[in-house]
Amino acid sequence: MGQVFDWSDGVFSELKQRDFATVCTVPDGGLTQLLKRVSDDPNMQLVTLSTEEEGMGVVTGQWLGGQRSLLAIQSSGVGNCINALGFPAIMRAPCPMLVTMRGVWGEFNPWQVQMGMATQQVLEAVGVKCFPVDQPEDVRETFVGAVDLALHGGFSTAVLISQRVIGAKGFGQD
């Protein structure tokens, strides 16, 4: 669990340095610490979504109003976003995403595998620039690179955090 605290704190610190106002999410276990940091911060707002594609609207709306917003979701939710990803892209609205992977590494639940294995390919097919990371110590630096690319260039970018970093969910079986 120490590793989870480490990368979450690093990512949160980088969000604060860049004055991010909101984080939009449909949660995942691997995002727990980061989402808690956001909801505990009086100067940030956590926006819980009913489905991930709403995040493309909220992130774009935030940018139209001069604020920065991050979408933090799990890989299965990427599949819900595909058409919606065209929305920030056509306006060149920065759309930074943090995706915790499921269904790839030691996955207990086979129902997660199809989308998990396809996540990067599907994102790249709709123009999202992907940055996979599989070591906890690389998360912060990778996040900075991906977020700054999005903010400076008006791109959609996704940091894909491997289950090697967050651990495979055990469903009480381990």
Q: How far is the CB of 69 from other proteins (least distance, A)?
A: 7
d(CA 12, CA 34): 6
Q: Shortest approach of other proteins to residue 29 CB, angstroms?
A: 21
Strand residue runs (E) in 35-169 = 45-48, 68-74, 95-100, 129-133, 156-161
- Name the site residues for other proteins (rule: CB under 8 A): 21-22, 45, 47-51, 53-67, 69, 83-84, 86-87, 90-93
Residue placing its CB nearer to other proteins in the complex, 4 or 56: 56
Buried b / exposed e over 107-136, threshold 16 CB at 10 Å, is: beeeebeebbeebbebbeeeebebbbbbeb
Find tokens 């123009």 and name the residue: 127
Shortest Å distance, C-beta 79 to other proteins: 15
Name the residue nearer to other proteins (CB basis): 56 or 146: 56
Q: How many Cα atoms are found within 13 Å in the side-chain-facing hemisphere of 109?
A: 14
> Of the two residues 22 and 163, which places its CB atom closer to other proteins in the complex?
22
> Nearer Cβ to other proteins, position 94 or 116?
94
Cβ 158 to other proteins shortest distance, Å: 18
Cα(3)–Cα(81) distance, integer angstroms: 29
Minimum Å gap between C-beta 47 and other proteins is 6
In the complex with other proteins, which residue's Cβ is closer, 69 or 163?
A: 69
Instruction: Give the whole-angstrom CA distance, residue 154 versus residue 146.
Output: 11
Burial status of residue 19 (CB atoms within 10 A of its CB: 0-12, 13-18, 19 or more)? exposed
